[in-house]
Amino acid sequence: MTEIRLDGERLEVAKGAVLGDIIPGHPLECSVAVIRPADTKTAATRNIRVTTTAGEVIIELNDVLPSVLQDKISSGASDTVTHPDILVLKWADRQAASFGLFLTDIVPERSPYRYARGDVILGCGGYDPGQSFLIFSKAPHIADHGAATGGGIIGRVVSGMSVLEDWKATDAITVMERIVQSADASSAFATTGRDLLLEEGMSIITYVRARAAGYREEDIDTTRAQSVEHLLLTYRSGRYHVSLDASTHIRDDRMRESEVFYEGEPHSRFEGTVTVRVSGRNRGSAYIYTDDIPGSPNHTAVGSVEHGIELAHIAGAGETFLFRVEPAQFDIRGMALSDAKVFAENRGIILNVDDDTGDRVIISQTPETTLEILAEKQVSVTTIPVTQVISVELFDAEAPRSTYIFRSITGLRWHEIGEMPLLIHFEGVSLFQPEIKKGTNINKENTPEGRVPANMLAITNDSRKSAGLIGCRTTENTEFGPTSEPFEGTNIIGRVCEPEKLPALKEGSIVYIREMTR
């Protein structure tokens, strides 16, 4: 048998097994990190991952790890933690939490010391080195932890601070191991291949998991609720697309050009910090930091990585990997009311409905953000009859830029339901005039030739004065497009799937739309 580690869990596989054998359901387009044992043992890194029964914490060491803890650090997937029974949570309060007991050779200073939030301390109880603890500072405080001269600070928590708040009396440290940096890429790499032969001691990381800023099940801080919502929206598909990999971070540009504002206090961007950019050309892009750099008013910190930072270190530009953010987004806009009731009940949320008669679709929710809803444990919704919602199918392959603009101006880019005002009906043509941001360029794209079939959806391009007008024509035409412009001024972006609903719409009203996939 061959022993490996899969996302931190030890696993025995048959000799000759390949990567695909252990991750059969993993999406083929998503990379995983592969760390060979030789690389793990020689990696020069000051960071260690502490896996606890409540989650993962990343510690950056000030210097060399004290010798007493060396035998507790796993240097490869086949190594085990020495004496795991001494790494249980012994006590915790509002200020600190400690794991022990174990023997050290420290000489207690017998003096109080000032500690910052996130400091990791080597101390002892009753000034007895035989009763030593690994102590995590949960809040700024002054205390005598029986530490050596200088306060006994051996490092600081750079990721997973929220886990410290979740520790309970039954929790324990199960594994401590060094983290492989991207510089160790000779034996650590990302791959989508499934035929890789598994080797003894190999470590496989299949996903990155992060916790949103302010989220704890028992205590939710909504200070950054809007920015966190942007993060949850971006990763509702569970995919992180690496648009750029730099020396200090990776960046995902899929939601670039979104409106995001600075929230919260300045926050240093430690390794594992997740941010969204709030200004500049990359406004709306999401960043995961792989090194420590100072904070910036151009970024709002929206989360921290709790598992899989190695994958973020190793993944390169153009790669995609699984990225899970806790909590899952709570956005039921566009959902059928019957489905929303089940969804809310499963999340433990009270659903307050304006009208519960017939088949209805939700068009708005209050509060709007996930953190606010989870904090209040209830949400109020506005609904309309399903007969007033029109389904459309968009042609992304044929008109990628035009469909991007359409989703942006109708709101479909952010929610499962969009809206646009109906301007006028005439001779089988319905024209809509949503507001378009100044400076938006609508270049010619997927213009028709010969004829336009019935029920096509189109946007007028910049070659005409009415650029940005949306239209649908319910009959075939060989001269004019759905917006009643000549073919060269018409970008075909999709089709209306329920044209029979169009005649009942009133001019000047808001029309709600949902998207169907091809």
pLDDT digits (tens, 9 = 90+) for 23-53: 999 999 999 999 987 544 444 457 788 888 8
Average of per-residue pLDDT across 267-275: 85
> Positive or negative CA dihedral for 41, 45, 46, 51?
negative
Q: Which of the residue ranges 19-23, 91-95, 162-166 has the most confident prediction, judged by mean pLDDT?
A: 19-23
What value does the mean pLDDT take over residues 104-117? 92
Largest CA distance in the chain: 91
Average pLDDT, the chain: 89
Residue 83 confidence (pLDDT): 39
Q: What is the CA radius of gyration of the chain?
A: 28
Mean pLDDT of 196-203: 92
> What mean pLDDT is predicted for residues 57-86?
58
171 or 207, which is more confident:
207
Q: Which residues contact 337 (CB under 8 A, 6 or more apart)?
A: 353, 356, 359, 360, 361, 362, 381, 383
Other beta carbons within 10 angstroms of residue 401's beta carbon come to: 15
Specify the higher pLDDT residue, 358 or 69: 358
What pLDDT, in 10s, does the model give residues 235-258? 999 999 999 999 899 999 999 988
Mean pLDDT comparison of 183-187, 215-219, 285-289, highest-scoring range: 285-289
* Mean pLDDT, range 102-118, rounded to an integer: 91
Q: Write phi, then psi, for 65 (nearest 5 degrees).
A: -65, 135
CB 272, CB 313: distance < 8 Å: no
In single-letter form, the type of residue at position 69 comes to L
| Contacting residues for 85 by C-beta, under 8 A, at least 6 apart | none
Place of tokens 């007493």: 68
Pick from 76, 49, 75, 79: which is nearest to 61 by CA? 49
pLDDT at 186: 58
Residue range 158-173: mean pLDDT, rounded? 84
Q: Supply the pLDDT for residue 377.
A: 96
pLDDT of the residue at 518:
57
For the segment 290-314, what is each residue's pLDDT rounded down to a tens digit?
Answer: 888 888 889 999 999 989 999 999 9
Neighbours of 236 (CB within 10 A): 13
Q: Write the CB contacts of 377 (distance below 8 Å, at least 6 apart in sequence).
A: 348, 349, 350
Is pLDDT of 447 > 80?
yes
**Among 496, 505, 506, 444, which Cα is nearest to 473's?**
496
Lowest-pLDDT choice from 51-60, 144-153, 416-425? 51-60
pLDDT at 180: 62
Q: What integer is the mean pLDDT of 376-404?
A: 96
- pTM of the complete model: 0.79
Q: Average the pLDDT over 429-457 and give the result.
A: 93
pLDDT at 170 over 60: yes
pLDDT at 353: 96
**Confidence (pLDDT) at 44:** 45
Asked if pLDDT for residue 325 goes beyond 90, the answer is yes
| pLDDT score for 219 | 82
Surface-to-core class of residue 88, CB atoms within 10 Å of its CB (0-12 exposed, 13-18 middle, 19+ buried): middle
